[in-house]
Amino acid sequence: MDVSRRTALKVGVFGGAALLLPLERTVGASTALPPRMPSSSLPVPFTIPFARPPVLYPVRTDSTTDFYRVVMAPLRTEVIPGFQTNFFAYNQSVPGPTIRVKRGRQTVVRMINQLPAKHPVLNYTPWTSVHLHGSPSAPQFDGYASDVTNPGQFKDYYYPNTQPGRTIWYHDHGVSHTAENVYMGLAAQYHVVDPMEDSLGLPRGEFEVPLTISDAMFTTDGSLLVDNHDGSGIYGDVILVNGRPWPAMKVKRRKYRFRVLNGSVSRSYNLFLDSGDQFKVIATDGGLMPRPMSVSSMRQGMAERYDIVIDFSKYPAGRRVVLGNRSPKNNIGYPNVDKIMAFDVIGDGFDPSNNSVPDVLNPDDPVMALKVADAVQTRTFDFGRSHGQFTINGHTWEDVVKSGFTRIEANPRHGDTELWVINNLSGGWFHPVHIHLVDFKIVDRNGKPPFAYENGPKDVVYVGENESVRLLMKFEGRGKYMMHCHNTVHEDHDMMAQFQVFDDTTPSIDPLSDPCTTLPDGQL
């Protein structure tokens, strides 16, 4: 059925949970927290083998579209050797399965909420809203926070996949509980594979590897410990890569492309190789950079994606290279959070094709061609804190909810280019700021050029302590979209706003116009 007809049919049944005010917030009850698992019970770094998340295959395809089915349900599994941990998982995998789609093919993903009626420890209702982060989805399929799907319901999401190839991800965005739901495991990579990249000779297949980095803390019985530090952040003492603590990966003596996603709730990283060698950054959130950038370290905030190429050919077999973390400030430190994973070089033979990084990757990216002089409007967004809440221009998402979803922070016109200034006027927090719908170019930070690795299309920008960042973006699409801090604890408490892209002739679709559907008799 086509999207507009389907939407029209469902408008009549809308109502209920999405309109409730978010009263069920999780409070930071620091005094009642269970004891943390002692470091002596945690695995020694680099003793657990690396693994890639499973790849999800469509349940059906036709000439234009791939159809997928994803069930969100509890998962009990071993992450810390000798302990069982309860997660919320997409298709029984944490992180969830990787979806890979060719640019230009549509996808429809049925997201089925089979989570329990209440979170087993925190007691909130795990309603969900799935956001495909890095996709110019229509408003009703963008994971609008208040467009929630309750346990026992499902929603079909339509994704156009028209954007240039890139590493993106799907994760939960349910209003007020995004942080807990993501921390529980509801996050996964999604790759838009672009035939334009095929001729470049970049590492692929076995040598193209997703790395989703996250952090977690466990109680003495192996449960996830959730301490949101009075609404400011959830930090773990265990670093997970694709769900495994400090794994070790065997690598052959050649180049690898890693699709690195910071999937943490609140922790940022500054990644480097302990060999002191540089690596090449080839793609940012929005896909290939105009040219690769060699760096010896890289600051990566939550939700940022960087595709990097590491060349292991110069190391002898038997050498171990560690991917380390020099923590940016305002993260909570623990003994081994300075380590991410290890690469163990092996002497096995390998396929020598697709083993290069050309000097020019995507020179004509339209986002990177934007100029300050193109901007018809300049807008300022102050990310701050007042009365224990995190705010954007003094407001919270609760103000948007209370307005009946009419409150908007900006109203750019379809087709216009605008300059957005994002200010973090505090020394106490950093805010990785995400703007839905668009890709942007970072013009400068505190008047200086962005870091070398930021010279590509972006949809999240690290706005560090006392930083002011200027962004250029062109608005395509129509309708209301969110922008927020991607410390999802800040987002939930309540640093999120919306903007509305308007068009003089075409009305925009309400993000709440395609509510979820109840499962017949609780069945799929």
Which contiguous run of DSSP H or E holds residue 8?
helix 3-11
Return the residue of 255, 484, 490, 493 that touches ligand C2O, per CB under 6 A: 484
493 binds ligand C2O (CB under 6 A): no
Burial class (CB in 10 A: 0-12, 13-18, 19+), 456: buried
Return the range that interacts with Cu ion (CB under 5 A); candidates 7-15, 173-181, 332-340, 434-442: 434-442
103 binds ligand C2O (CB under 6 A): no
3-state percent breakdown (helix, strand, coil) of the chain, nearest 5:
10, 40, 50
Where do runs of H (alpha helix) occur along 85-217?
Answer: 178-183
In the structure encoding, which two tokens stand for residue 285, read together? Answer: 């959130």
In the structure encoding, which two tokens stand for residue 268, read together? Answer: 């940022």
Which one-letter amino acid corresponds to residue 326? Answer: R
Indicate the residue among 105 and 171 with the shorter CB distance to ligand C2O.
171
Indicate the residue among 133 and 280 with the shorter CB distance to ligand C2O.
133
171 binds, among Cu ion, ligand C2O, none (CB under 5 to 8 A by kind): ligand C2O
Closest residue by Cα to residue 245 from 220, 265, 227, 218: 218
- Tell me the three state secondary structure of residue 39: helix
**Cα gap 300→286, rounded to integer Å:** 15
Is the dihedral angle over the CA atoms 228, 142, 454, 274 positive or is it negative?
positive
Q: Is the Cβ–Cβ distance between 138 and 158 less than 8 Å?
A: yes
Indicate the residue among 322 and 435 with the shorter CB distance to ligand C2O.
435
Q: Side-chain half-sphere of 407: how many Cα atoms within 13 Å?
A: 15
Return the range that interacts with ligand C2O (CB under 6 A); candidates 30-38, 89-97, 478-486, 509-517: 478-486
485 binds, among Cu ion, ligand C2O, none (CB under 5 to 8 A by kind): Cu ion
487 binds, among ligand C2O, Cu ion, none (CB under 5 to 8 A by kind): Cu ion
**Cα gap 405→511, rounded to integer Å:** 10
431 binds Cu ion (CB under 5 A): yes
**Cα gap 98→100, rounded to integer Å:** 6
Cβ 488 to ligand C2O, closest distance in Å?
8
Return the range that interacts with ligand C2O (CB under 6 A); candidates 82-90, 284-292, 438-446, 480-488: 480-488
482 binds ligand C2O (CB under 6 A): yes
Return the residue of 105, 119, 166, 171 that touches ligand C2O, per CB under 6 A: 171
Q: Side-chain half-sphere of 135: how many Cα atoms within 13 Å?
A: 30
Return the range that interacts with ligand C2O (CB under 6 A); candidates 203-211, 346-354, 403-411, 481-489: 481-489
> Hey, which residues between 109 and 148 contact ligand C2O (CB under 6 A)?
131, 133
Indicate the residue among 137 and 153 with the shorter CB distance to ligand C2O.
137
458 binds ligand C2O (CB under 6 A): no
How many residues in total does the chain contain?
A: 524
482 binds, among ligand C2O, Cu ion, none (CB under 5 to 8 A by kind): ligand C2O
In this structure, the dihedral spanned by the alpha carbons of residues 405, 410, 412 and 417, taken in order and rounded to 10 degrees, is -140
484 binds, among Cu ion, ligand C2O, none (CB under 5 to 8 A by kind): ligand C2O
Return the residue of 436, 441, 445, 490 that touches ligand C2O, per CB under 6 A: 436
Return the residue of 105, 173, 445, 478 that touches ligand C2O, per CB under 6 A: 173
**Cα gap 480→477, rounded to integer Å:** 10
Return the residue of 37, 42, 202, 303 that touches ligand C2O, per CB under 6 A: 303
Q: Residue with CB nearest ligand C2O?
A: 133
445 binds, among Cu ion, ligand C2O, none (CB under 5 to 8 A by kind): none
Give me the DSSP letters along 41-71. Answer: GSPPTT-EE--PPPBP--SEE-SSEEEEEEE
Q: Is the Cβ–Cβ distance between 25 and 489 less than 8 Å?
A: no
Cβ 460 to ligand C2O, closest distance in Å?
8
| Sole residue written with tokens 């697709």 | 354
Indicate the residue among 46 and 269 with the shorter CB distance to ligand C2O.
269
> Hey, which residues between 123 and 182 contact Cu ion (CB under 5 A)?
133
487 binds Cu ion (CB under 5 A): yes
Burial class (CB in 10 A: 0-12, 13-18, 19+), 300: buried
Question: Which residues of this chain interact with Cu ion, rule CB under 5 A?
Answer: 133, 431, 436, 485, 487, 490
Question: Which residues of this chain interact with ligand C2O, rule CB under 6 A?
Answer: 131, 133, 171, 173, 303, 434, 436, 482, 484, 486
